[in-house]
Amino acid sequence: MTHPKHINFQAHFTYDAELGVLIRGTTGKPVYVYYKTRIDKRSRPYGVIKLDGAKYAVHRVVWAVVNGEWPESIIDHINRDTTDNRIENLRIVTPLGNSKNKSRARNNTSGINGVDYSNGGWRVRVGPVFGGRYDTLELAIKVRDLLYRELGYMGDHGE
């Protein structure tokens, strides 16, 4: 199989910036995007398109069509909506940068990302950084917010 970076996606698709969709060059119609499918034997929460029998993550193809090259790193959906593939919602980030723009974890029991209740106190942890243990949730949230700013996390991280 041809590596995606050797495919000229601009020869197969155009990008409609107003609608935020790929247009198939052969038909002039929006590309059908598959969801709840698999790429490389792993489930992905992203839309997938097919080209010549191979599957590609649609946000990566949008990037390649608009920028003329296959992205070598992670593409982050700024608003965390993996169905929103408008180019202004996509950016290249490092794995650390991508981890700084996450929704609240499903197993979060406090309802506040970076804060959990343990052994009679509210514990703050942002990534690998332990922020301490506090008597009140309000104080723990303030410390967590300070750590977010200090470590460069998105303002709505965990919401």
> Whole-model pTM?
0.65
For residue 78 the two structure tokens come to 């700024």
Alpha helices in the chain (DSSP H): 58-67, 95-99, 137-151
- Fold of the domain spanning 4-97: Homing Intron 3 (I-Ppo) Encoded Endonuclease; Chain A (3.90.75)
CB proximity list for 128: less than 8 A, separation 6 or greater = none
Q: What is the pLDDT of residues 47-88, one digit of tens each?
A: 888 898 888 989 999 999 999 999 988 898 888 788 889 999
CB proximity list for 123: less than 8 A, separation 6 or greater = 115, 116, 117, 130, 132, 133, 134, 140
Q: What is the pLDDT of residues 88-119, one digit of tens each?
A: 999 998 776 666 666 656 656 666 778 888 88
pLDDT at residue number 109: 64
pLDDT at residue number 94: 78
Q: Is the pLDDT of residue 43 over 60?
A: no
Mean pLDDT of 30-46: 69
Mean pLDDT of 118-123: 86
Amino acid at 51: L
Alpha helices in 1-157 (DSSP H): 58-67, 95-99, 137-151
Q: Break the chain into its structural domains and give their ranges.
A: 4-97, 103-151
CB proximity list for 48: less than 8 A, separation 6 or greater = 33, 34, 35, 37, 39, 55, 56, 57, 58
For residue 138 the two structure tokens come to 């309000």
**Percent of all residues in the chain with a pLDDT value above 90, rounded to a whole number:** 28
pLDDT bin (cut points 50, 70, 90) of residue 1 is very low
Amino acid at 108: N
Alpha helices in 19-136 (DSSP H): 58-67, 95-99
